[in-house]
Structure 1
Amino acid sequence: MRKQTILTGAAALVLAAFLAACSGPAVETTPTATLSPTPAAESTAPALESTSASEPPEWGEQVFTQTYTAGDGTQVMEVRYTLPMVQNTDAFPAGAVINDWYKADGASRMESAEANYEQAVADYDVSKSAGFSFSPVTEEMSYEVVLSTDQVISIRRTWYINSGAAYPTVFQLGENFDPQTGIKLTFTDFFTDAQTVQERVVDAFMAKADLAAGGFTREEIAGAYQQEQFCLTSDGYTFWLQGNSLNAVHSPVEVTLPYDSLKDVSMYAAQ
């Protein structure tokens, strides 16, 4: 761990990329697959009703990874993004569209990593000149399929970034897909009243003991709430506040609202 807070530029670029929309070149993709050239579009209102699907998806992974070094050969950054990949696209055709979406996402992240690499080299050079210790930036991403039915496929990703600061930065990302078409679903495909959902989600966060102990106001929690960041599980809708979105809260905080608690404003009928 760096003893001085010099390596801040690369981390700032990563955070900015998350808050905007990450973009980027695929350096290594494993395993390879034949995917369509453009990502699935985010649609409005695909049907969430139950229909007979093809065979269930079989999940593998596509990996985007690269190690970056300075001119003297010192490692300054390493990234490894492990993203979902449906292996049986012949039996589950929507999987090709899902694969394509994550292929585009991974390529976009590699492009962002390339930009961050330049900042990491600059930080290394400053540290070396000043005689400070240096730790390379490390980024890792993993995924979990948290729900897979004939109505929705819900995937949760964890993005871990260690830039040598006192605490690593961790993001939780969520994507929900229509299993009939592979189209990525949005908040409005599930809910009819965004304001009511936000109020109930904020209520749930306000009731958490760790946040209550921090003395956070309702306005602060509402400001950290991200409407599109949620996933579906067997227990209900899971929402989270990202690490560092609230003062001195370094890891994501999550709440799960049972499906019944939002059924009056939800278009999704839990099975």
Structure 2
Amino acid sequence: YSHAYAGTPPPPPTPEPPQWGEQVFTQTYTAGDGTQVMTVRYTLPMVQNTDTCPAGEVINDWYKADGASRMESAEANYEQVVADYDVSKAAGFSFTPVTEEMSYEVVLSTDQVISIRRTWYINSGAAYPTVFELGENFDPQTGIKLTFTDFFTDAQAVQDRVVKAFLASPELSAGEFTQAAVTAAYQPEQFCLTSDGYVFWIQGNTLTGIHSPVEVTIPYDTLKDVSMYAAQ
């Protein structure tokens, strides 16, 4: 007779929290005469211990796809930038190369949620560089990307409280911003989780005269009646 297997199978590795590295998507683009017209560098998260972190591969794949998509967009944008360069050169105008950079920060990593925040910086010679804030929240067991409805039970109550916090923020309280204007600018999916609470933001150039993102931190206690996330 034969044993199906000798001894007991090895136990699965104990799940561990993610250890972070980075995956970098970068490219320098030049015009026909060799002039550098655009540089992009997107530094995105990468879980290094995918063998022991169950969510690692799924999270890595999400950012890999995001990076690939951004490189495709950059390639499409490059044609326009070269056209702008050619026009500027022919007219004798100065030309500022386009620079795009993206960085990330893991702002919370618990057994309930992994929250990542990204900053996307674009400089194309305008009076103000363009800055976008991005955020992703993941399930640390599966790596599935979580959405607003995974955290909150009452979207209207959350909106009312977040808009109220924006209206009281230093950046907006001095301005003539109405509740209606801030409500229109509020995007429920623009949030992440930190040790201090939920952070919501409004992108720059969404409200008149506000060129940079505005953010507010809402303590977990303030939303505990409408939130499914209990702070550690």
Normalising by structure 1, what TM-score?
0.80
Q: Which residue of 2 aligns with 1:6?
A: none
User: 5 Å matches for 1:23-102?
Assistant: 54-102=15-63
2-structure distance, mates of 1:209, 1:59: 34
1-structure distance, mates of 2:180, 2:78: 36
Q: Deviations over 1:198-226 (max 9, x none)?
A: 11000000001321212111111111111
Q: Deviations over 1:157-189 (max 9, x none)?
A: 000000110000000000000000000000000
Post-superposition offset of 1:93: 2.2
The alignment partner of 2:225 has SS state of helix
1-structure distance, mates of 2:224, 2:183: 21
2-structure distance, mates of 1:212, 1:149: 34
User: 5 Å matches for 1:188-199?
Assistant: 188-199=149-160
Within the alignment, does 1:109 sit opposite 2:70 as a pair? yes
Q: Which residue of 2 aligns with 1:26?
A: none
The alignment partner of 2:217 has SS state of strand
The alignment partner of 1:203 has SS state of helix
Aligned residues: 219
Q: Which residue of 2 aligns with 1:232?
A: 193
User: 5 Å matches for 1:6-21?
Assistant: none
Q: Which residue of 1 aligns with 2:223?
A: 262
Post-superposition offset of 1:247: 1.3
2-structure distance, mates of 1:256, 1:95: 28
List, as ranges, runs of 4+ consecutive aligned residues in structure 1 with deviation greater than 6 Å: none
Q: Deviations over 1:121-178 (max 9, x none)?
A: 0110111111110111100000000000000000000000001100000000000000
- 1:160 equivalent among 105, 121, 129: 121
RMSD: 0.8
Q: Deviations over 1:58-85 (max 9, x none)?
A: 0000000000111111111100000000
User: Structure with the greater relative contact order (CA < 8 A, sep ≥ 6): 1 or 2?
Assistant: 1
The alignment partner of 2:229 has SS state of coil
Q: Deviations over 1:217-245 (max 9, x none)?
A: 11111111111110000000000010111
Within the alignment, does 1:124 sit opposite 2:124 as a pair? no
Q: Which residue of 2 aligns with 1:220?
A: 181
Q: Which residue of 2 aligns with 1:242?
A: 203
What amino acid sits opposite 2:221 in the alignment?
A: D
- 1:150 equivalent among 111, 128, 133: 111
2-structure distance, mates of 1:224, 1:76: 33
Deviates more, 1:176-185 or 1:126-135: 126-135
Deviates more, 1:209-218 or 1:82-91: 209-218
The alignment partner of 1:264 has SS state of coil
2-structure distance, mates of 1:171, 1:90: 33
Within the alignment, does 1:185 sit opposite 2:134 as a pair? no
What amino acid sits opposite 2:74 in the alignment?
A: A
Q: Between Structure 1 and Structure 2, whose CA radius of gyration is higher?
A: 2
Deviates more, 1:103-112 or 1:239-248: 239-248
Post-superposition offset of 1:248: 1.4
The alignment-based identity, stated in percent, is 84
What amino acid sits opposite 2:103 in the alignment?
A: S
Normalising by structure 2, what TM-score?
0.93
Any stretches of 5+ residues in structure 1 without a counterpart? 1-52
